[in-house]
Structure 1
């Protein structure tokens, strides 16, 4: 359902649909940015949760974007640990009801990490 490739020197993500359709969009511009969760929306667009992690000495950056099949995308939120956001290993995203979603991190059974659960509303 997801993949990565380099096109024109830019890091890009490629999404594949079950019907064979595919589309490409640029990865969030942070080193090692990768898709960790997807959630399809009623209008056919997709919420993309990306995590960028290089080492414990570099910031953790979590980005949330909305992507349309046309290739358009819109940044919804960026949580950057170097900007005082307390982010961790966010890797789960799920729709609850209406415009509300959960996002969850995993502590990896590591005392330096935490399991965090956030609940938010997508303003369209």
Structure 2
């Protein structure tokens, strides 16, 4: 009977789509002091589509009811999301694509390590971690063209390590494409993270690693950060505002911490890496399960308090 129960549980998990998940701690003090409000959280568990597994989600974008996810295995996924009464009521898996070059060839090895995703002018922007670059893609994963990035980002030897490349990307009409490495470059002050446009830099003081970005307003960027201790297994997910129009002569900009979710305070966190704006003050963030059975792909709906 015991083996039957575990087999049944495995079967149900295998065929699950979204299941409820409680991310918030029992101590409400650690919830109410945040400047964001968690509305809902779901575990995503979908079967392969066209032979493509749904794992290692690194970022997402929202557009008129559709959500696109990108994986650091070089996959792109399309879903339809239904929000009712501030809850994720359904998530319909529509399609999956493999990121390809202009010739229609699948990206190979280190070239496929996609980490950041943004939607700008009806096209997708993807930033890559290992072969550091930012590329325009169609919504079915076909490369359109690579864009020029800041000169400091063009030398691979400037990065903190091979696996600390362009983790996040976003864009708007005023600043164009904004991207950032996960950790400060070797030749910069490690006390500051730096956001880069093609010609400008914007520094802000923060700990942890940059994993996601999204414009909050014309001059303000939301930055998602993470910290993880391999020794204690403690996870921290933080959300900050960085004001690009309020910077010193040394390019250090005003910043504000909106939330600091700490697993040592009871937050049930995973490896959150992606952030996207939906509408009004509603946002989604997603976690990377590292293709590890002990981790989860979590999709969290939250709002920024007025």
User: Structure 1: any 5+ residue segments left out of the alignment?
Assistant: none
Specify which of 7, 17, 23 is matched with residue 197 of structure 2: 17
- Give, in whole Å, the separation in 2 of the partners of 1:77 and 1:21: 27
* TM-score of the superposed pair, with normalisation by structure 1: 0.85
1:15-57 Cα distance to aligned partner (Å, 9 max, x none): 1123x121111123xxxx1100000123320000001113152
* Corresponding position: 1:2 with 2:180: yes
Residue 88 of structure 1 corresponds to 270
Q: Is 1:27 aligned to 2:185, yes or no?
A: no
Q: CA deviation at 1:58?
A: 3.5
Work out which of the two has the higher radius of gyration on C-alpha atoms and give 1 or 2.
2
Number of the residue aligned with 1:50: 225
Give 2:292's aligned residue: 110
Question: Separation in 1 of the partners of 2:272 and 2:191?
Answer: 21
Aligned residues: 117
- For 1:36-82, what per-residue CA distance to the aligned partner results, in whole angstroms no more than 9, with x for missing partners? 00001233200000011131524111100011012111111111111
CA distance in structure 1 between the aligned counterparts of 2:217 and 2:191, rounded to whole angstroms: 28
Residue 91 (structure 1) shift: 0.2
Q: Give the whole-Å Cα distance in 2 for the aligned partners of 1:49 and 1:27.
A: 11
**Partners in 2 of 1:115 and 1:15 — Cα distance?**
27
Alpha-carbon offset, residue 11 of structure 1: 2.4
Q: Secondary structure at the match of 1:68?
A: strand
- State the 4+ residue runs in structure 1 displaced beyond 4 angstroms: none
- Uncovered stretches (5+) of structure 2, i.e. residues with no partner: 1-178, 247-252
CA distance in 2, matches of 1:90, 1:114: 10
Aligned to 1:119: 301
Counterpart Cα distance in 2 of 1:98 and 1:56: 39
Larger RCO, structures 1/2 (Cα 8 Å, 6+ apart): 2
Q: Are positions 1:72 and 2:240 aligned together?
A: no
CA distance in 2, matches of 1:88, 1:11: 25
SS of match in other structure, 2:217: coil
Whole-angstrom distance in 2 between the partners of 1:85 and 1:16 = 31
